[in-house]
Amino acid sequence: MKHGGDLSLAIERFGGKPEDWLDLSTGINPYSYPFTEALPATAWSALPNRVAEEQLLFAARRAYQVPDHLGLVAAPGTQILLSLLPTLLPEGPAALAAPTYSSHKEVWQRDGREPVELSSVYALPAEAKIVVLVNPNNPDGQLIDVKSILEIARILTERGGFLVLDEAFADVMPGASVLPHVGEENIVVLRSFGKFFGLAGLRLGFLAGPQETVDKLGARLESWSVSGPALEIGEMALRDQEWQEQTVRRLVDEMADLTITLSEHQLSVFGGTPLYALAGLRKAHALHEALARRHIWTRIFDYAPTWIRFGLPGGADNLQRLSDALTEARGEL
């Protein structure tokens, strides 16, 4: 599985309709931001305008605590941003902490820079100019402290390099983000909108970093890269601090319930965030198949055949459905 979230593969193999499935293969919040206000007609009918983009960036800068001296750019999802980075950052060897989100390795490979996989983020290769970290990491949820991240960035800055930091899941772990603490280090930070706000289909993401680098990236994105509806909904959600705080508490509580349920079915949870739990089982791939026959889609990993990841089911009924399916599926292993 390259990514989670594509039910077309599940339906092709195991049948059913999309509404029949419980998709636990992603780390997307099952409780989408409830934008109840009607969008202005111009959000759909007119080209996105500069004022709306500036208002979105202002809201994002406050929500993510981006210092004034850093640049900030919005894009149709962070995927396009990370794919452009190899063409913008300095030449030289790249390294990344692995295992992690697979697209990071792929974009550097396409640029002809086969990245070295780090055995430890605290032991950087002497020749590395670019280091890619996902914090908290996907899929295991490993969290690197802010002080260590800044020290890595300072070392790379002295080499004329950059730290690329993917904070896609930092919204659900208050205090994890390095952004409020960034000074003059060469560091670019990716922030995903769709995961925490449960609106992945909106396609919205951000990158913060040195102003010159951000300006170059913005030029690559061209005009009107973010849609009118994304500008409007993104600003609305990022300004809603009360919803964000309440949602973090809700996700933490429901992850505790999910962890207990998995443990009751002899699944050892050893990693994750409040949006997904990573569990270990000798027959993880067989369990994935057995759950899929019951129209529950989970995430498995080719490089780790004993790992299986569960996103939040979203509510007591869905959690009970998962529990019942686990009881039946474990009997088939």
pLDDT, one tens digit per residue, over 50-71 is 999 999 999 999 999 999 999 9
Give the model's pLDDT for residue 168: 97
Give the model's pLDDT for residue 270: 97
pLDDT, one tens digit per residue, over 159-207 is 999 999 999 999 999 999 999 999 999 999 999 999 999 999 999 999 9
User: Can you give the chain as a three-state secondary structure string?
Assistant: CCCCCCHHHHHHHHCCCHHHCEECCCCCCCCCCCCCCCCCCHHHHCCCCHHHHHHHHHHHHHHCCCCCCEEEEEECCHHHHHHHHHHHCCCCCEEEECCCCHHHHHHHHHCCCCCEEECCCCCCCCCCCEEEEECCCCCCCCCCCHHHHHHHHHHHHHCCCEEEEECCCHHHCCCCCCHHHCCCCCEEEEEECHHHHCCHHHCCEEEEEEHHHHHHHHHHHCCCCCCHHHHHHHHHHHHCHHHHHHHHHHHHHHHHHHHHHHHHCCCEEEEEECCEEEEECCCHHHHHHHHHCCCEECEEECCEEEEEEEECCCCHHHHHHHHHHHHHHHCCC
**Whole-number percent of the chain with pLDDT over 90:** 91
Give the model's pLDDT for residue 121: 86
- CA–CA separation, 133 vs 227, rounded Å? 29
**Whole-number percent of the chain with pLDDT over 70:** 99
Give the model's pLDDT for residue 2: 66
pLDDT, one tens digit per residue, over 126-144 is 999 999 999 999 999 999 9
Give the model's pLDDT for residue 36: 74
Give the model's pLDDT for residue 184: 96
- pLDDT beneath 70: ranges in the chain: 1-2
Task: Spell out the residues 6+ positions from residue 168 whose beta carbon is closer than 8 angstroms to its own.
Answer: 78, 101, 134, 138, 190, 191, 192, 195
CA 155 to chain centre: 26
Q: Angle, to 10 degrees, between the axis of helix 211-221 and the axis of helix 78-88?
A: 110
The token pair at 172 is: 């659900």
pTM reported for the whole predicted model: 0.95
- CA–CA separation, 273 vs 141, rounded Å? 5
Give the model's pLDDT for residue 1: 64
- CA–CA separation, 316 vs 41, rounded Å? 37
